[in-house]
Homo-oligomer: A and B are copies of this chain.
Amino acid sequence: MNTVGKSLPRGDAYQKVSGEALYVDDIKMHGMLAGKVLRSPYPHAIIRDIKVERAKKLNGVIDVITYNDIPQIRYNPAAYPPTNVPGRMVLPKDMFIVTDKARYVGDPVAAVVAIDEEIAEEALSLIEVDYEPIEAYFYPFDSMKDDSLSIHECAEKNILHKYDVGFGDIDKGFKEADLIIEEEFSTSRISPAPIEPIATSIAMAHPGGDITIYSATQTPHITRRIIAEALGLGISKVRIIKPSVGGAFGGRHGVTNELIAAFLSIKTNQPVKLSYSREESLVCTTTRHPAYLKIKSGVKKDGSLTARTLDVVVDAGAYACHAAGVTRMMGLLGLSLYKCENLHFGGKIVYTNNPPAGGIRGYGNPQGTFAVESHTDTIARELNMDPLEYRLMHHVEKGDVNYQSGLEIDSCGIEECIKQGAKKIRWSEKTKSSSENKKHGKGMAIMIHISGTRPGLSELSTARITVNEDGCAYLSSAAAEIGQGITTSIRQIAAEALGFKYEDVKTDNYRQVDTMVDGYDMGAYASRQTFSNGVAVKNAALDARNKILNHASKMLSYDKDNLTIEDSIIKDANSKEELLKVADVVYDVNFKEDGQYIIGIGVSDIDGNSPPFAAQFAEVEVDIETGIVEVLNFVAAHDVGRAINPYIVEGQIEGAIQQGIGYALIEKLMVDNNGKVLNPEFANYKMLTSKDMPKIETLLIEEPSPIGPYGAKGVGEPGLVPVAPAIANAINDAIGVRIKELPMTPNRILKALQNKKD
CB of A472 within 8 A of CB of B234, answer yes
Residues from chain B with a CB closer than 8 A to the CB of A747 are none
Q: Which of A95-103, A131-139, A185-193, A593-601 forms part of the interface with chain B?
A: A593-601
Give A595 to B519 CA distance when docked, in angstroms: 13
Contact pick for A594, options B17, B207, B604, CB 8 Å: B604
Complex formed: what's the CA distance from A603 to B516 in Å? 21
The one of B30, B516, B590, B604 that contacts A460, using a Cβ cutoff of 8 Å: B590
Q: Which residue of B lies closest to A236 (CB)?
A: B472
Question: Which B residues are CB-close (under 8 A) to A506?
Answer: 236, 516
Of A307-315, A462-470, A551-559, A661-669, the one with at least 4 CB within 8 A of chain B? A462-470
A591 touches B81 (CB 8 A): yes
Are A474 and B516 in contact (CB-based, < 8 A)? yes
Q: Is A671 an interface residue (CB 8 A)?
A: no
Residue A692 CB within 8 A of the other chain = no
Is A573's beta carbon under 8 Å from chain B?
Answer: no
Q: Is the CB of A474 within 8 A of B517?
A: yes
Q: Contacts of A517 on B, CB cut-off 8 Å?
A: 474, 476, 508, 514, 517-518
Say yes or no: is A607 at the interface (Cβ < 8 Å to chain B). Answer: yes
Whether A755 is near chain B, meaning CB under 8 Å from some CB there, is no
Q: Are B469 and A235 in contact (CB under 8 A)?
A: yes
Query: Contacts A14-B206, A30-B26: A597 and B462 contacting too (C-beta < 8 A)?
Result: yes
Counting every copy of the chain, the complex holds: 2
For residue A289, give the distance in angstroms from its CB to the closest CB of chain B.
Answer: 27
Question: Which listed residue, B206, B460, B476, B596, touches A597 by the CB 8 Å rule?
Answer: B460
Q: How large is the interface on A (under 10, 10 to 19, 20 to 34, 35 or more residues)?
A: 35 or more
Contact A14 B460 (CB under 8 A): no
Is residue A529 contacting chain B, with contact meaning CB distance below 8 A? no
Nearest B residue to A606 via CB reads B594
Decide if A430 is an interface residue (CB 8 Å cutoff).
Answer: no
- A592 interfacial contact with B, CB 8 Å: yes
Report the separation of the CA atoms of residues A606 and B379 in the bound assembly, to the nearest whole angstrom. Answer: 76
B residues near A516, Cβ cutoff 8 Å: 474, 506, 508
Chain A 260-276 per-residue mask, 1 if CB under 8 angstroms from chain B, else 0: 00000000010000000
Q: Is A397 an interface residue (CB 8 A)?
A: no
Q: Whose C-beta in chain B lies nearest to the C-beta of A25? A: B30
- Complex Cα distance A466/B478, Å? 14
A84 to B520, CA, bound (A): 38
Chain B: minimal CB distance from A402 (Å): 19
Contact between A212 and B460 (Cβ–Cβ < 8 Å)? no
Residues in B whose Cβ lies below 8 Å from that of A228: 470
Given contacts A508-B516, A517-B476, contact A596 B592 (CB under 8 A): no
- Known contacts A14-B206, A235-B470, A476-B517; is A459 also within 8 Å of B594 by CB? yes
Question: Chain B residues near A460 (CB, 8 Å)?
Answer: 590-591, 594, 597
A475 to B: closest C-beta gap in Å: 10
Question: Is residue A381 within 8 Å, beta carbon to beta carbon, of the partner chain?
Answer: no
Q: Is A510 an interface residue (CB 8 A)?
A: yes
Q: Does A20 contact B (CB under 8 A)?
A: yes
The complex places the Cα of A139 from the Cα of B76 at a distance, in Å, of 74
Kindly state whether residue A125 has any CB partner on chain B within 8 Å: no
Residue numbers in B under 8 Å from A277 (CB-CB): none
Within 8 A of B (CB), among A163-220: 206-208, 212
Which one of B14, B26, B234, B595 contacts A470 once the chains associate, using CB atoms below 8 Å? B234
> A82 contacts the other chain (Cβ, under 8 Å)?
yes
Interchain CB contact under 8 A, A207 and B472 = no
Does B595 lie within 8 Å of A603, measured CB to CB?
A: yes
Asked if A68 CB lies within 8 Å of chain B CBs, one says no
Choose among B469, B476, B599 the residue that contacts A601 (Cβ–Cβ < 8 A). Answer: B599
Is A18 interfacial (CB 8 A cutoff)? Answer: yes
A482: min CB distance to chain B, Å: 20
Pick from B20, B82, B208, B592: contact of A14, CB under 8 Å: B208
**Contact call A20/B594, Cβ cutoff below 8 A:** no
A708 to chain B, nearest CB (A): 15
A sample of 8 cross-chain residue pairs with beta-carbon separation below 8 angstroms, ordered by A number, consists of A26-B30, A28-B30, A82-B587, A83-B591, A460-B591, A506-B516, A594-B604, A595-B605
